[in-house]
Amino acid sequence: MSSWVQKGSSGRLLGRAYDLTALRELARLPQSTNRYLFRAAQSPCIPYRRVAMEVQKEAQRIMTLSVWKMYHSRMQRGGLRLHRSLQLSLIMRSARELYLSAKVEALDLEAPSPPARCPDPRLHPPREVEVPAACVPPDGEQPLPEPMDTQEEEEAPPRAAETETLVRCSPRPARVCRKRRSSSLSDGVDAGLVPSKKARLEEQEEAKDSSSEVPDCLPPPPAQAEGAFPNLARVLQRSFSGLLSRGPAASPTAPPARDAKPACRPADPMLSVLVRAVVAF
Amino acid sequence: MKCFSRYLPYIFRPPNTILSSSCHTEADIISTVEFNHTGELLATGDKGGRVVIFQREQESKNQVHRRGEYNVYSTFQSHEPEFDYLKSLEIEEKINKIRWLPQQNAAYFLLSTNDKTVKLWKVSERDKRPEGYNLKDEEGRLRDPATITTLRVPVLRPMDLMVEATPRRVFANAHTYHINSISVNSDYETYMSADDLRINLWNFEITNQSFNIVDIKPANMEELTEVITAAEFHPHHCNTFVYSSSKGTIRLCDMRASALCDRHTKFFEEPEDPSNRSFFSEIISSISDVKFSHSGRYIMTRDYLTVKVWDLNMENRPIETYQVHDYLRSKLCSLYENDCIFDKFECVWNGSDSVIMTGSYNNFFRMFDRNTKRDVTLEASRENSKPRAILKPRKVCVGGKRRKDEISVDSLDFSKKILHTAWHPSENIIAVAATNNLYIFQDKVN
């Protein structure tokens, strides 16, 4: 176990490093994602939600990179390569699943979960003590980079509703995708942001549908976290290994870049937006 | 591995290249290497659509040390860039594959293909020239009939050896997707060409028709999950062929079963090791090359990190798995960012099927002896290989203390990759293509 310390962006020490290999084993994430986990896990005070956010960012980065590669491959001599496009779309799908899973985990932690799901009520008192001590990275608990997450904090839909949103959006994406097309044409390389905006659109519509639920869902304290490292490890393992063990049959098939007409996939609003971004180029 | 203890490196470069290897043009990048059936000729194709054929020097008692050197025999432009007006796509002239036909007369025949068109080339020698025409003078100009007073019979006189290549057949317009493989059948009358979704069977004599024998294109392209990555005929059974997919599976088909071989006869797939599951598992399991052994009993497949040998009689797992560069497993994200994860490495058998060889990064290539289970990593580079010098085995340090001659993973040059290699059919001579340079190594002790 290495024992170096790293200074955060605020100039304060973030604590001791953990065994990177162990973390990597747990998460089975790409190397650069592991870097985020590594930094995040350096201090037990950094909440797991921060880790999930970092994973979301990384997944988004990979999605953006993949879309850029797809765009770039179209400009190559010889035209679009089917095999390459298929591989890129597989990566995009995996990144999307990772992104969604991390987002769901983050929402799950924010939402006031029932006691059965709550890890440990004993954490509440220690947490209140830890919060002032853990103001170490004050920006860690700040409003999150994506506007979508800010939106989620205000509304905090429960996890079930989140799933329902994805399903209920089925009649909507057809309309939304058509709207998205023009924006995706101009913002090709920023396609990574498009899913965020799309999700926010879903959340807004969801909020309209269930406006009565808003008062019930108070924004949870941002410092809700797993205090101990073993709990963090368990959550990571549960979320990501479950995600990765899901076979291709369970998830929608990868959309290849193709010579057929583009079509929206109602079950995957985010993916369909990505696909539109790809095909539009 | 005593047969690889010493090597004589010869460095060849494609003709018409005046640039050094550090600043080469992209057109000079070698894209395929292939020995012919006797090993006398070695053909290379490059990204500029050219084919360069090397011929082995005949042994001579006077110059024993020069035995077996390969010299340029012929160079010709096989494919030109084309434009598909219907799809507004440029068709690259890069030669994807070259396959030799067995020699049946004095001329040599080879197939070369780019993304869309396969061509049959005849390479023949001309060492005599007719002289003494009545109606034409020596330069070929017509003579004034009034000046002709005598009649003579033209005679053949020897001339400087000239090697000419002529395209005998052009097999075009049969593939919607990009051709990745061609394979000559053991009946020497047919061959197949494979693209991402279809495999076509051709007769050498017929250019305007081909039979489609495999078609994995789904009715709805959104349901596409895998593509064909390589295909090859069995070396002895003219009815059998295999094709590999991007999902890491190999299908063996028998053309006697049906006209359209969509249903495989055998299906080779290894269950995924859950401990190796990662974000990029799916794309690194894609098979980039499949080769039958000379005996026809085994097939060898190459995916991004491993080489596997399969027994045709066992479908559920390979009989041997060799790790080519497992130290890259933790670097897959970086390799994805710099596109290296999409590199398609090839693999080759030696003549006796006892050793297999494949390429890696940093101009390294690896050989695995199947009998002794020993392996060696060698490097193809100008700096490390003087003529007649012996190749030194290289080692990549994966962690901890780096020894003196080792190279660390982070120092590997991923722009120098060996994708294409070839092994002489009967002797221990190998050809290794490193970007735009061709290295030919020979075992000193034969």
| Chain segment A27-68, per-residue pLDDT in tens | 444 444 444 444 444 445 557 778 888 888 989 999 999 999
SS3 A227: coil
For residue B88, what is the nearest residue in chain A, using CA coordinates?
A: A79
pLDDT band at A79 (very low <50, low <70, confident <90, very high): confident
C-alpha to C-alpha distance for B428 and B7, rounded to whole angstroms? 10
CA of B329 vs chain A CAs: smallest distance (Å): 10
Cross-chain Cβ contact B282/A94 below 8 Å? yes
The shortest CB-CB distance from A30 to any of B221, B277, B279 is to: B279
- Residue to substitute from A83, A268, A281, interface B, most B β-carbons within 10 A: A83
Residues 77-116 of A with CB under 8 A from B: 77-79, 81-84, 86-87, 90-91, 94-95, 98
Which of B119, B75, B80 shows the shortest CA–CA distance to B97? B119
pLDDT in tens, B333-376: 999 999 999 999 999 999 999 999 999 999 999 999 999 999 99
CA of B441 vs chain A CAs: smallest distance (Å): 33
Q: Which residues pair with B310 in a beta bridge?
A: B299
Which pair of tokens denotes residue A44?
């037990």
Is the Cβ of A74 closer than 8 Å to some Cβ of chain B? no
DSSP secondary structure letter of residue B392 = P
Asked if residue A106 has pLDDT above 50, the reply is: yes
Contacts of B334 in chain A (CB under 8 A): 31-32
Q: Concatenate the DSSP letters of all residues of B87-154 into one string.
A: TTEEEP----EEEEPPP-SSSEEEEEE-SS-EEEEEEEEEEEEEE--SSB-TTSPBPPGGG-------
- Who has greater pLDDT, A98 or A241? A98
Q: Count Cα neighbours of B5 within 13 Å in the Cβ-side half-sphere.
A: 5
Average of per-residue pLDDT across B154-181: 94
Instruction: List the domain boundaries for chain B.
Output: 40-50+80-115+169-442
C-alpha to C-alpha distance for B165 and B78, rounded to whole angstroms? 9
Least confident segment among A65-74, A270-279, B270-279? A270-279
Is the Cβ of B188 closer than 8 Å to some Cβ of chain A? no
The shortest CB-CB distance from B115 to any of A78, A84, A254 is to: A78
pLDDT band at B195 (very low <50, low <70, confident <90, very high): very high
Average of per-residue pLDDT across B320-329: 95
Is the Cβ of A65 closer than 8 Å to some Cβ of chain B? yes
The shortest CB-CB distance from A83 to any of B87, B90, B229 is to: B229
Cross-chain Cβ contact A87/B246 below 8 Å? yes
* pLDDT of amino acid A45: 52
SS3 B416: coil
For residue B284, what is the nearest residue in chain A, using CA coordinates?
A: A87
CA of B29 vs chain A CAs: smallest distance (Å): 15
- Who has greater pLDDT, B163 or B381? B163
pLDDT band at A240 (very low <50, low <70, confident <90, very high): very low
The shortest CB-CB distance from A253 to any of B225, B280, B334 is to: B225
Asked if residue B246 has pLDDT above 80, the reply is: yes
SS3 B179: coil
Average of per-residue pLDDT across B182-196: 97
pLDDT band at A125 (very low <50, low <70, confident <90, very high): very low
For residue B280, what is the nearest residue in chain A, using CA coordinates?
A: A91
pTM recorded for the entire structure: 0.69
State the architecture of B40-50+80-115+169-442 in CATH terms.
7 Propeller (2.130)
- Who has greater pLDDT, B439 or A146? B439
Cross-chain Cβ contact B283/A87 below 8 Å? yes
Cross-chain Cβ contact B332/A32 below 8 Å? no
Is the Cβ of B398 closer than 8 Å to some Cβ of chain A? no
**Chain-wide mean pLDDT for chain B?**
89
* pLDDT of amino acid B117: 97
C-alpha to C-alpha distance for A204 and A155, rounded to whole angstroms? 9
C-alpha to C-alpha distance for B305 and B323, rounded to whole angstroms? 6
Q: So what's the ipTM on this one?
A: 0.88
Cross-chain Cβ contact A253/B224 below 8 Å? yes
